[in-house]
Each structure stands twice: as structure tokens, then as C-alpha cells.
Amino acid sequence: MNQPITAADKTFIALRDDIVEGRIEAGSKLSETELSTKFAVSRAVIREAINRLESCHIVERKANVGARVVALSPQGLIELYQVRESLEGMAARLAATNMTDEEIADLSALLQSHFDEVKGGESYYQEAGDVDFHYRIILGSKNKHLISMLFDGIYHLVRMYRVQLGMAGPRVTTAYDEHKHIVQAILNRDAELAEMLMRRHILYSKNSIEHKLS
Amino acid sequence: MNQPITAADKTFIALRDDIVEGRIEAGSKLSETELSTKFAVSRAVIREAINRLESCHIVERKANVGARVVALSPQGLIELYQVRESLEGMAARLAATNMTDEEIADLSALLQSHFDEVKGGESYYQEAGDVDFHYRIILGSKNKHLISMLFDGIYHLVRMYRVQLGMAGPRVTTAYDEHKHIVQAILNRDAELAEMLMRRHILYSKNSIEHKLS
DNA sequence: ACTTGCTATATTGTCGACAACTTGGTGTTA
DNA sequence: TAACACCAAGTTGTCGACAATATAGCAAGT
């Protein structure tokens, strides 16, 4: 799926991006016929794309009625971060035992490059870097279910909230230190601590966002 | 979806049960044409059912090649229980704050009925009761994502392992005590403890299963 | 005016046929 | 014999048409 092959793949990704980026607004109805003309594919392809979006929890469907883009709400965001805390905490725990020394070294290098950017005054410790950090740890868990749940499901939703509620990326200043401590715990193969630190990290992140929203 | 409406709903559920119960064996290929004759529906319906099975992680699909039922492995079971530990732990934590007094009372009553059964010598503290207990706590979390991930995704897979690797339900003797302590923690609104106990409970369960397998 | 029931319309669900792709086998060549 | 190209059969992907269902609007009755 990294290389979209079929028309349904491409349509799924295009539609998902349209929704996540807000070009199709949250809560709006998805008409199959309308979309099929817009994307120049048959309704079967659109239906498959919508089905996949549904399993990502990006749209909701009712039989014989149709599909709507999910509505964003503060409550929904909180629930999302609760799941993130749970899953990514476990991912950090597993990563501490399952990552190879090489992978940990790479992770350290990534962190160092972030440090250089922050120090350089660019303060360009933006979403891309943060996401990359979390990605590596999730992959490091080597747990198929964790990986797919987070990558295919949760992360696009998180991004949708980020984009549409206009949060300017993750917290720049303190997040770096938190990342550093997590890497240190993984380096020490301290699974318990890695999980705890990751959960705190996400909890702080959630609190920060809630604060911005209020 | 509780009441399957469309043909795709019914086919999805029928197919899922066939796989979980082992009537379609793990690792086997799913031919769309073959299934469409077997269930007397069009291939479109079969395709939708298979798509949904894929998002449950019950089958795996490769573009232009087809779908296979997932293969069961000790490693897969371990990964599954890691996710369960993570998610159900969080569910217990949330349940401790989000369940109503009434729901907690019902949960206590359920536990009591289990106690009566165990005491009555029937030792009929079987899967149904165990599953019911966990269901209520998951629902008590009031977290949509948690609920759907566990109900639609994880639980059918767990059941598939249970049936096909022939594990005779959950541990009868000690599980009751663990359940009791979890309920007590929820009753005390002690979220922290509830999570910890639930995680232990699932961890023990995993260890018990691993022991049986070896 | 409000409710009730029907009808018309539009949308989703299902189907069978065709197109595109993978795979295994065959034959050719070095 | 090994390697390569190609062909054939079968499977999946895509399409347009038809059937079933929901929704909005109108009409009639109280």
C-alpha cells in the first residue's frame, strides 16, 4: 500500500487527504455518485475507498443512507489521545526490548539532528520531525497490530485534528527533552520507564492542546 | 450492525464466523468466485465482506493476488495479548471514572452470579461469563475508539485463537479473584489501580495460555 | 393548522460482464 | 541443463445498469 496500485488505492488516499486537510469539511455527507464523477472512477471504486475510510474511523456509514465525514469535537480529541497514550506507551515498552542496537543508534542520530535544528534557532522542530520520532518507536515495537492501528487508523485522525483545529504542530520547547529521556530509557533497555515516559509525553501533549482550545 | 441489514452485512458475519470457528482453515486462500457461489451472492458482496475482514485483521490481502486467512502463530498470539493488555488496561482506567454507579452495581451483580456458579461446583465460569465481564468494562470506558477496536477487531481474533488452538476457556480458579479485585478498584474509583490490575489479569492469562501451548 | 399517507426522486445496494493483472507452464536458445 | 521469453488460464479489479431503500414534498382528511 506504500505504493498505491489499484484505482481504489489511489482514490482512497486522495479522498483521505482531502478530508484530513479539510478540503472536504468535517461532518459533510459523501455522495457516491458525486465523488465518482469528481475522481473519474466508477462507484465501485468509490465505495471501496469509503469502506476503507470507515475502518480508519474517518467516516461513518449508515446502511441505505450513506457516509458522513466524522465530526470533530473536543471530546473526540480527548478519546483519541487516550488511545494514543495507551498504544504508544505499549509501543515504547516493546521498543525498549525489541529494537536492535542499530535502530536505537539511528533514533539517537535523529534526535541529535533535531537538537541541532532547535539550537540553530530555526526552531524548526515541527510536525514532520515529531511524527518521524514517534514512527520509529512504533515500528520498533515490532508488533503488527500496534503498527497498523496507529499508522492506518489513529495517526490520520490526529493529523486531521491538528490541521483543522489549527494547532501549530507539537510543543517545540519541552518536547525535545521528553524525547531525549525516552530514547535514553530505550537505550538502557528499561521497558517500564520507556512506557511511563511515553505516556507522560502524550499526556502533556494532550494537555497542551486542550489548553490551546480553551 | 447489531442487526445485519444488507447482504454484505450477513455475508461478512457468516464468513467471519466460518473463519473464527475454523470451518475455513487458517492460512487458506479465499477465492471470490468460489465464495460467491457458496453464499449465493454476487462477487461485489463478497469483496465488501472480505474488505471488512481485512480491517479486522482476520484476512490479509494483496493487490491483484487475493486474500488469505491469517496464519495463527504463538508470536501472533503474544502480540495480540500485548495490545489487549494495553487497551483493556486503559479501558479499566477510564471505566473507573466514567462508569455510572448503576453500571458498577450491575457489574458487581454479574460477578456475584459468577461466584455462585463457581461455588455451586459447576465451575461453569466459562468463556461467555469472562467475555461478558470484559465487555462491560470496555463499554464502561465510554471511549468509542477503544470499544470498536476491541469489539470489532481484537476480540474475534482472540476467539479464533481460543477455538483453533483448543484452549478450554479462561482460567477458572484464579480469574475470579482477579475480576473481584478489579471491580473493587472501580468501585473505589481508583483508576490507577484498576488499570494495573487489569493489565496483570491479562498478562496472567497470556502466561497461562503460553504455558498450555508449550 | 397539523397530521397522515402516498408518490416521486434521489441515493445506496447488488448484479453480471468485461478489462487488467498474476501465475504456472511451454518452448526456445545459449 | 539453465535461463529467458512468451503464452494461456484463472483470478482480481473496474465498470455501467438495475433493484431496493430512504427522504422530501404534496395531497387529503380531521
pLDDT at B88: 98
How many CB contacts within 8 angstroms connect chain A with chain B? 77
- Contact call for residues A69 and A146 (beta carbons, < 8 A): no
Least confident of A63-77, A98-112, B103-117: B103-117
Segment B144-157 shows an average pLDDT of 96
A79 in reach of chain B (CB within 8 A):
yes
Query: What is the grid cell recorded at A151?
Result: 499508522
Residue B146 and residue A83: Cβ atoms within 8 Å?
yes
Residues by Cβ under 7 A, strand D: A 6-8, 41-45, 48, 64-65; B 29-33, 43-44, 47, 61, 63-67
pLDDT at B119: 62
Residues of A in contact with B79 (CB under 8 A): 143-146
Give Cα B156 distance to the centre of its chain.
5
What pLDDT score was predicted for residue B97? 98
Torsion angle in degrees (nearest 10) through CA of A3, A5, A8, A11: 50
* pLDDT greater than 80 at residue A118: no
Report the share of chain A in percent with pLDDT over 90.
76
Q: Quick one: pLDDT at residue A211?
A: 82
User: Does B73 have pLDDT greater than 80?
Assistant: yes
**Nearest chain B alpha carbon to A89:** B86
- B44 in contact with nucleic chain C (CB within 7 A): yes
A96 Cβ under 8 Å from any chain B Cβ: no
Cβ distance A52 to B51 less than 8 Å, yes or no, reads yes
Interface check for A83 against chain B (CB to CB < 8 A): the answer is yes
Q: Suggest the residue from A65, A77, A145, A206 to mutate for an interface test with chain B (most B CBs closer than 10 A).
A: A145
* A114-131 mean pLDDT: 67
Residue in chain B lying closest to A47 (CA)? B48
CB contact under 8 Å between A145 and B89, yes or no, is: no
Given a cut of 90, whether residue B168 has pLDDT beyond it is no
**B87 close to A (CB below 8 A):** yes
CB–CB contact B5 A52 (8 Å): no
Q: What is the largest CA-CA distance in chain A?
A: 56
Report phi then psi at B105, rounded to 5. -60, -45
Nearest chain A alpha carbon to B85: A90
Of A106-110, A151-155, A156-160, A170-174, the least confident? A170-174
pLDDT value, residue B173: 64
Q: Which amino acid is at A41?
A: V
Distance A159 CA to D22 C1' (A): 34
Q: Which residue, A128, A154, A146, A166, is CA-closest to A22?
A: A166
Cα–Cα dist B108/B171, whole Å = 20
Contacts of B44 in chain A (CB under 8 A): 44
Q: Taking a C-beta distance cutoff of 8 angstroms, is the pair B67, B30 a contact?
A: yes
Residues 6 or more apart whose CB falls under 8 angstroms from that of A149 comprise A87, B83, B149
Measured CA A83 to C1' C27 distance, in angstroms: 59
Contacts of A194 (CB under 8 A, 6+ apart): A92, A93, A95, A96, A182, A185, A186
What mean pLDDT comes out for the span B139-158? 96
Give this prediction's pTM: 0.93
Q: Is residue A171 scored above 70 in pLDDT?
A: no
